[in-house]
Amino acid sequence: MEATQIQSLSRLKVFLTDQLRNIAPVFTLLALIIFFSIASPSFLTTVNFMNIFSQISITAIIAVGLTYVILTAEIDLSVAAVANAVGITIAYFTMQPDYVNIANLPLPGIIAIVLTLLTALAFGLITAFGVTWIGIPSFIMTLAIMQIANGVSALLVRGQIAYSYPEFITMLGSGSIFGIRWTIVVAILFLGIGHLALTYTRFGRYIYMTGGNREAAEYSGVNVKLIIGSVMVISAVCSGIAGMLAVAYFGSAQQNQFDSYLLDAIAAVVVGGTSLFGGRGGIGNTIIGLLVLGVLNNGLDHVQIDSFLKILIRGLILLSALIINVYAQRLKESH
């Protein structure tokens, strides 16, 4: 074999090794689409794909903030609980007097939205303070915030179900424009802005630097504490906005409504190929991960697989992604 051919094969091997975490999710997505298209004639239709996009839209908004967190080699386990608490808060502020909110009357829509956004911001600031200034590991800090958010949810609804939200939130959560649900439009906006910020801004570069090598980032003048604190706040705000839209999407606000969203959001980021060790991946990877989960969940419904088996399959897919993620990191370190 000629030297040039050996060099070409060597370069190809290095490229495939470096891009393993990006290539594997794409092949997984294509394989799932082909399989379900053959297994069910109703799967490969425009209407069904719009259903898939609608089903993953709320998760997508949460996953944008979580992508930022994971890129810094941190984790946020509170995203679903914060979304639930904020969703209940927007309903609480617009409830009728018989529920007795803090003002004993429904607040105007814009005031309710602002107060609710401030609630989401407060969750993020508390998390950021605990992680960056006190030094609590993000795993433990966000676990505590998860419990606090669950407590807020329980305190506000007290086992009841709320159905009142501002008209603007109702429109975004359950309405559509030109036949496309507003939740899809909002999710696309969040994914687009998230991608642009990560790719073309100094803040985005600092996020990758912080996740890639924290000590080197500090030596380069990056305020690592500020970056980590910022992504925690971004994650909480994204979760809060998702929670506000979701209660209108579901048609009600109640406890434990978002229990599945934590695993879904983490799975979307990790299955898409963003490194759990930080510094590699991005919103593009998260989009692929969202589509993998959306196609998988929707496709399993079309082939009428046992619901318990569906949970097992999703777990196996996530485990496979974690194995690829860790293996790709080891290959990177060995070169």
Give tens-digit pLDDT for 143-184.
999 999 999 988 888 777 777 778 888 888 888 888 889 999
pLDDT at residue 196 in the model: 96
Query: Does 31 score more than 80 pLDDT?
Result: yes
pLDDT at residue 333 in the model: 57
The amino acid at residue 262 is L
Query: Does 20 score more than 60 pLDDT?
Result: yes
Position 65 confidence tier, pLDDT thresholds 50, 70, 90:
very high
Average the pLDDT over 117-143 and give the result.
Answer: 95
Residue 53, Cβ neighbours under 10 Å: how many? Answer: 19
Position 4 confidence tier, pLDDT thresholds 50, 70, 90:
low
- Share of residues in the chain with pLDDT > 70 (%): 87
pTM of the model: 0.88
Average the pLDDT over 77-90 and give the result.
Answer: 93
DSSP code of residue 162: B
Q: Report how far residue 297's alpha carbon sits from residue 309's, in angstroms, rounded to the nearest whole number.
A: 11
Average the pLDDT over 104-120 and give the result.
Answer: 80
pLDDT in tens, 293-310: 999 888 888 887 777 777
Strand pairing report for 176-177 and 180-181: antiparallel
Query: Does 104 score more than 60 pLDDT?
Result: no
Query: Does 11 score more than 60 pLDDT?
Result: no
Position 102 confidence tier, pLDDT thresholds 50, 70, 90:
very low
Report H helices in 42-108.
Answer: 46-71, 79-93
pLDDT at residue 99 in the model: 46
Q: Could you tell me the CA-to-CA distances from 146 to 73, 82, 329, 334 in Å, in that order?
A: 19, 7, 29, 37
pLDDT at residue 156 in the model: 86
pLDDT at residue 210 in the model: 94
pLDDT at residue 304 in the model: 72
Cβ(292)–Cβ(32) below 8 Å: yes
Query: Does 12 score more than 90 pLDDT?
Result: no
pLDDT at residue 95 in the model: 67
pLDDT at residue 101 in the model: 46
Maximum CA extent, the chain:
83
Q: For residue 110, what are the contacts with CB-CB under 8 A and spacing of at least 6?
A: 166, 168
Q: Report how far residue 324's alpha carbon sits from residue 335's, in angstroms, rounded to the nearest whole number.
A: 17
Query: Does 233 score more than 90 pLDDT?
Result: yes
Among candidate residues 31, 28, 33, the one with its CA nearest the CA of residue 49: 33
Between 245-254, 275-284, 296-305, 321-330, the lowest mean confidence (pLDDT) is in 321-330
Query: Does 195 score more than 50 pLDDT?
Result: yes
pLDDT at residue 106 in the model: 63
pLDDT at residue 283 in the model: 95
Cβ(22)–Cβ(285) below 8 Å: yes
